[in-house]
Chains A and B, each alone.
Chain A
């Protein structure tokens, strides 16, 4: 339908414009990456548009990965993301399986209940008081359990499970499969893309979570997660909590460390897991996105 091969002026303007938009996404990230790998003597002099490191140095990452607060925070983030996502997946897939069974007698009242739960946000303090009452303050279970099921993702999962052919389900029933076997041996393998998609989504949300962790995990400085420290350091500019730990600077580099580059290194560490997951998000969700267009 588009026959002409020559590149028209309008096509060039369009491509340049879109290319500029992608630069606004790439340059700030590459700039932070470049500064974080640069020597602290060079990085303060680097502008905001440079994308290549000057005087390659790993000092910022050495500090991050030896830091008495950042290291536990990183480990906490990994634990919460891992355990939290597992909890999310188990609850969401079992619920989706049950709610997609044919002729389920209570399906309608349960769905109405879930939709009301999704729509009505009780707000911060009422939830805070419940977490307090359940004795979850300071425990990783607070953040893990408070966001155990997302109704949007449950509905996405149900759409995938609805596509499992009824004939296979019936055959398995005749063979005497119980519900757990049905879920793990038939529904998971036949809805791989769906399970993978919501796993990615849950994992991304878990890793990026900062707000509830900042409220519920405040007992000890080593209780918290990476995004909370990142917020203190980068957004609130609280260098004291990072720098006050004199024992970090055994190598006597305190005087020459560039805090902006150090912030950059922390940002890069916080982005890295997302970049690892991102190709999978595109791969599994792409099919869905390019045909169905479900918005999170």
Chain B
């Protein structure tokens, strides 16, 4: 095209100048990122300085990092973060695949649609509402204990039980995300060509054989993608859920990095210490995402983005 030829001849700066209206349109968005992302990133230097509301911040080196790594509480918090992430992202993982498989096996189209419409809904409820619902359902007079009483099981105060709270977090995560997060698998299943099924039926394959040899292989790539994406969120462990499900009785077993940052930073006013934790979390988080991106590219040919 002639237009392209003309473009080639223009210098880099002339081309940018010709596009200036476009960059003007982009300005508010770029300004947003500079104000609310770049400036906070610049503020992360606070991890190496002592905070003062007025005047300059004196440099203290690695003082806050030493404080973090020498505190006994931090090990527990790191452990809690990793174990909760493991339960949500690894242990729970097969449930999402199973849900998509089960949905696909349902023959009635209307029932399938019903299950989808209901099971996607919890994803759109706020964590505050979800916590409200489950605190009530898991209370001593709630629905769960009522069902247990029917089977003659003694009542349990679930939300204040330290041995059960992590499982509750995992199951409530399943309750909220099972429908929505299984969409990626379900779409991969319905994208399978019908001719594959027909060929299998002619060969006399059973339903189990079809699942094993046709459906599961089609899920390998979405499974790897999902798994890798989750790995990138490993240090988050689902802050909003923990923040709303926590109480004094169980805090020590489900206190994670982000709740710790909130407590020492916003409630405790120890800005530098909280920033140091954020910095560790941010750097490790980027490394995790970056390495999984590279890994995913090698394995499946496509990266995370």
Contacts and interface: CB of A to CB of B under 8 A. Distances in A.
Interface residues of B, number: 102
Interface string B40-53: 11111010000000
Nearest to A99: B26
A99 B133 CA distance: 42
B243 A211 contact: yes
Chain A interface category by residue count: 35 or more
Interface stretch (B65-73, B78-86, B190-198): B190-198
Contacts of A31: 137, 143
Contacts of A69: none
A271 interface: yes
B238 interface: no
A230 B128 contact: yes
A105 B132 contact: no
B136 A263 contact: yes
B265 A101 contact: no
Interface string A1-33: 110000000010011011101101111110110
Contacts, number: 258
A14 B117 contact: no
B197 A122 contact: no
Of B40, B265, B277, most A-chain CB atoms within 10 Å: B40
A129 B43 contact: yes
Interface stretch (A55-63, A144-152, A239-247, A249-257): A144-152
A32 B121 CA distance: 16
A291 B187 contact: yes
A91 B32 contact: yes
B5 interface: no
Contacts of A101: 19, 22
A73 B22 CA distance: 39
8 contacts: A27-B143, A91-B29, A101-B22, A123-B277, A210-B127, A211-B243, A227-B126, A270-B129
